[in-house]
A = this chain, B = another copy of it.
Amino acid sequence: MGKKLNLLMFSGEYDKAMAGLILANAARDIDVEVTMFFAFWGLFLIRDPETMTLEDKTIYEKIMDVVTPKGPEHLPLSRMNFSGLGRMMLEEMIEDQGAPKLIHFLKGARKKNIKFYACKLSVEIMGFKPEELLPEVEIIEASAYLKDALESDMQLFI
C-alpha cells in the first residue's frame, strides 16, 4: 500500500520496546515501510551485548555502562518492575501464551528490512562507541530523523 511508519524509540523499557517492535513487525507484514530511530534510553535496545567495552570511557560513561541493562532481555518494565520480578513474571505470561519474547521480536525486525537509526547526540552523550551498537545501525542527526518522519504517514514517540 506504499505507506510508511516512523517510530522514535526513546524509553528503553521492556514493555514499551515490545510495543514498538510488535508494531514494527506487524507493519512489515502488511508491506508498510518502517524506520526506527533510537534515542536516549532507547539506545539500550540496540547495543550489541557482544561488543560492549569500558575502554576509553570517562568515569561517568563507565558508571552508565555498569548501572544500565546489559541487553534487551534485561530492560526493566515501565511499571510494576519490582526489581525485575515484574518483568520475569511478564515473560512467563508471554511464554504461557506461546507468544514471542522481546528478543524474538527484535530478531524479527532485524530480518525484515527495517531501517535502524541511532541518534548521534544521544550516542555521544552516553559515550557509546559506534561498534557497541548492532552492526546495521546507522548513526544520524535529529534533522535527518525529522526529514524521514515528516515524509511518513505515521509517527509515534515511544
Contacts and interface: CB of A to CB of B under 8 A. Distances in A.
Interface of A: 1, 3, 5, 8, 10-13, 15-16, 18-19, 22-23, 26-27, 29-30, 32, 39-41, 58, 60-61, 63-64, 67-68, 78-80, 89-90, 92-94, 96-97, 99, 121, 124-127, 141-143, 146-147, 149-150, 152-158
Return the 5 tightest CB-CB contacts between A and B, nearest first: A26-B142, A156-B157, A26-B143, A3-B150, A60-B93
B40 A19 contact: yes
B93 A146 contact: no
Contacts of A143: 26-27, 29-30
B93 A26 contact: no
A147 to B, nearest CB: 7
A62 B94 CA distance: 15
Contact of A60 (B16, B89, B154, B156): B89
A154 B156 contact: no
